[in-house]
Structure 1
Amino acid sequence: MDRRSFFRNAALGGAGSLTLAAPAIAQSGPSVQWRCTSSFPKGLDTVYGGAEDIARYVREASAGDFDIQVFAAGEIVPGLQAANAAQNGTVEMCHTAAYYFVGQSPTWALGTVIPFGMNARGMNAWLYYGGGLDALNAFFREQGLHYLPAGNTGTQMGGWFRDEIGGLSDMEGLQMRVAGLGGRIMEALGVVPQQIAGGDVYAALERGAIDATEWVGPYDDARLGFQRVAPYYYYPGWWEGNATLSVFCNSESYEALPEEYRSLLDTAARAANTDMLAEYDYKNPAALRELVDSGAQLRRFPDEVMNAGYDAALDLYSDFRQNVDGWADIYDSMMRFQSEHFLWQQVAEQTFASFMYEKQSNNALPAQIDGAGSVGGTGE
């Protein structure tokens, strides 16, 4: 049979191998319904949207047979109880940030970010190719959970302050909403850290219960309106060189899934992890300009503050290596890769970026020259 005859017969049903494949493709999988509780309010569409994206990817790929219903913070449990709800089986899955739960163990923070840790690209490389995902799941399995990276904000801003920070003395006694191990480091600098869920932060800042807050970056911060009550916007968020969000599945529920559904969920989370970072990279530049135009005062943290934070972080990690179960193996793996990653970034990425930043500072980028409206251009 020649090639044209083969395809003609296949189209008419004459090729047995192709005809037999159709019923297998059309078969439905088992019907599975899960609930996912988020740590975030719906108003934060990008970070909350990560869970919605995962649910949509899974639903569409399974023709609705694997259905995940997403609930915002507070609809089933408060945002800071999301992981607990997955652990005890109240829900099959949650979407959260692992470092919210450092009260259970500091090791949880390694699933999101640690102060002076890796950027988003480094974190993803370590998770997917450097053994990070396996190392973290060895720890989270003991917590009754299966961990999947499921979003990243990129490097965050340092947050909003009512008053300027001129040096370490200005940190003393500040009441600040700060998550994860960043709170432990801030405490060493004299700050009084507060753990407050995203939906409650603005009210706390407005009524004076806190003096400062960090959240994510320009897009989310603008939506929450922090600039209206705390005008000084500090950078960088040295305690969050990235912020990896996560899906935590109840271990028993995850293992009970058909293998193809586990694979589908893993793939959907990986897609959401990549997409969220791209979305923030798209939204943050315009949002930063809008914040500055509306009166936000950009400030860089003084070197004195950052160096003190760095030293305090190393002291804390040294203590954790000796005294916190599960910390050493994961942390050591992360730090070995961080050293290699930063060396590579310094050779290629930083050199290229520094050259282009200089062009931007000199108004020499094409959009600036042509008036196409870049962040550094006139926009006219």
Structure 2
Amino acid sequence: MKQPIQCPATAAAETPERASRRRFITGAGGAAAGIAVAGIAMPNVSRAQTVSLRFQSTWPARDIFHEFAGDYASLVNKLAGGRLRLDMLPSGAVVGPLQLQDAVVKGTLDGGHGVTAYWYNRHPAFSLFGTPPALGWKADHVLGWVKYGGGQALYDELVQQVLKLDLVGFLTGPMPSQPLGWFRREITGPADMQGMRYRTVGLAAELAREMGVAVTVMGAGDIVPALDRGLLDGAEFNNPSSDRALGFQNVTRTYMVGSYHQSAEMFEIIFNKKRYDSLPEEMQTILRVAAEASSADMAWKAMDRYSADLEALKAEGVNVVKTPDSVLLAQLAAWDKVIAAKSADPFFQKVLDSQKQWARRILSFENEYAVRTDLAFQHFFGAPTPP
């Protein structure tokens, strides 16, 4: 067989060194082409991998609480870099505020933002994770218990073992002590509340009943209309910003502030557990860590907005009155009775024992260790003006 005739130039080009170079150039060209194709295709792949979760709050769109929920959703969306998105919805977009938990359990919604007191009828211990007894602590102290005192494990036990709900939840967002509420006339003592038609939620409802109050439980958007129509004699919601946005000042001018009925509340963020477990671990971490980060931001925003809105309410003619000590002492006595009755449930007692152990230790430290703030305030600003 004849051998193929090679051109001298071709033969020279096929030295081992040149052949190696040719293979490298060919491979590099293919790689460059692949990179070019990938550069076109990657945005489409990224969009295809985005997971969207329907996330509803239990708050009207005009309420600062819905804004807090939106802040959480925005932070999650930024941290996830387009791979995960919470689609934020206000109360009523899919279900009413008191139906949120059921909707998330069923998968009608993927998640939501609310308070545990709304699920009190499912189990009284739910309220311990949002509106616990007034042990002398504030919401930040309760969140410390959640994070480092065993509270999160007890919450998980209640949700997933005691009640077997298909939920994952995070507690977040410390609230300042709440007002006693809005009334048609000033409350001068416990007797003024006897027989009163009053709105509150959770364990606070049991507390009010112990004081002879007729309690009605309802969502935020229904309170002011009920008060306006005379269906309620008094009502509380939460804070100056929310109360002002909801329009309480348009139906009554007496605002009683300072109360032990809900002195240490926080929010709850929940997700359908199957949906949550289907997410990559990184995305689960974002949902959890964003709850902690937005918790801090919410506390700082509340300092700004609540104080400004209380001043605005005063300027609008609202009479802001401190709840008298006689009412506060009556509330504490009522707490004793509520705690004794509800502690017949072993899990309720288990959670409360844990809370008391934490509160006793950290408040003993704080009361002994921390400096007084009232003396410094009086030195620089004078005696505070009583509301």
Query: Shorter-chain TM-score: what band?
Result: 0.7 to 0.9
Counterpart CA distance in 2 for 1:308 and 1:251 is 41
Aligned to 1:47, which of 52, 65, 72?
Answer: 65
Task: For 2:71, give the aligned amino acid.
Answer: D
Aligned to 1:91, which of 86, 90, 109?
Answer: 109
Specify the SS of the correspondent of 1:208: coil
Partner of residue 367, structure 2? 346
Counterpart CA distance in 2 for 1:212 and 1:53 is 31
How do residues 57-68 of structure 1 correspond to structure 2 at under 5 angstroms?
Answer: 57-68=75-86
Shift of residue 297, structure 1, vs aligned partner = 1.6
Counterpart CA distance in 2 for 1:31 and 1:144 is 23
Question: Normalising by structure 2, what TM-score?
Answer: 0.82
Partner of residue 9, structure 1? none
Partner of residue 114, structure 1? 132
Shift of residue 245, structure 1, vs aligned partner = 0.4
Aligned to 1:152, which of 156, 159, 174?
Answer: 174
Partner of residue 356, structure 1? 376
How do residues 313-332 of structure 1 correspond to structure 2 at under 5 angstroms?
Answer: 313-322=335-344, 324-332=345-353
Shift of residue 358, structure 1, vs aligned partner = 2.5
Partner of residue 176, structure 1? 198
Larger Rg computed on CA atoms: 2
Alpha-carbon distance change, 148 to 168 in structure 1, aligned in 2, over 3 angstroms: same
Counterpart CA distance in 1 for 2:191 and 2:303 is 34
Give the length in aligned residue pairs: 338
Partner of residue 214, structure 2? 192
Identity of aligned residues (%): 25
Q: 1:332-368 deviations in whole A, cap 9, x for unaligned?
A: 111111112222332344x4312123336626xxxxx
Q: 1:277-314 deviations in whole A, cap 9, x for unaligned?
A: 11111111121112122222222222222222112212
Shift of residue 91, structure 1, vs aligned partner = 1.0
Counterpart CA distance in 2 for 1:360 and 1:100 is 42
Specify the SS of the correspondent of 2:249: helix
Contact 1:47-1:151 within 8 A present in 2 as well: no
Q: 1:18-45 deviations in whole A, cap 9, x for unaligned?
A: xxxxx9xx9959432211121001101x
Specify the SS of the correspondent of 2:185: coil
Contact 2:177-2:262 within 8 A present in 1 as well: yes
Partner of residue 320, structure 2? 298
Task: For 2:336, give the aligned amino acid.
Answer: L
1:278 aligns with 2:297: no
Task: For 2:319, give the aligned amino acid.
Answer: Q
Counterpart CA distance in 1 for 2:367 and 2:221 is 38
Counterpart CA distance in 2 for 1:42 and 1:255 is 29
Task: For 2:84, give the aligned amino acid.
Answer: F
Counterpart CA distance in 2 for 1:218 and 1:144 is 35
Specify the SS of the correspondent of 1:41: coil
Tell me the C-alpha RMSD between the 2 structures. 2.1
Unaligned runs of 5+ in 2: 1-38
Partner of residue 230, structure 2? 208
Unaligned runs of 5+ in 1: 1-22, 364-374
Specify the SS of the correspondent of 1:359: helix
Task: For 1:355, give the aligned amino acid.
Answer: L
* 276-285 or 302-311, which deviates more: 302-311
Counterpart CA distance in 1 for 2:285 and 2:58 is 24
Counterpart CA distance in 1 for 2:192 and 2:176 is 27
How do residues 202-281 of structure 1 correspond to structure 2 at under 5 angstroms?
Answer: 202-281=224-303
Contact 1:50-1:150 within 8 A present in 2 as well: no
Specify the SS of the correspondent of 1:67: strand
Counterpart CA distance in 2 for 1:334 and 1:190 is 27
Counterpart CA distance in 2 for 1:336 and 1:360 is 37
Counterpart CA distance in 1 for 2:346 and 2:118 is 18
Counterpart CA distance in 1 for 2:50 and 2:347 is 37
Counterpart CA distance in 2 for 1:361 and 1:348 is 24
Partner of residue 167, structure 1? 189
Partner of residue 143, structure 1? 165
* 297-306 or 161-170, which deviates more: 297-306
Question: Normalising by structure 1, what TM-score?
Answer: 0.84
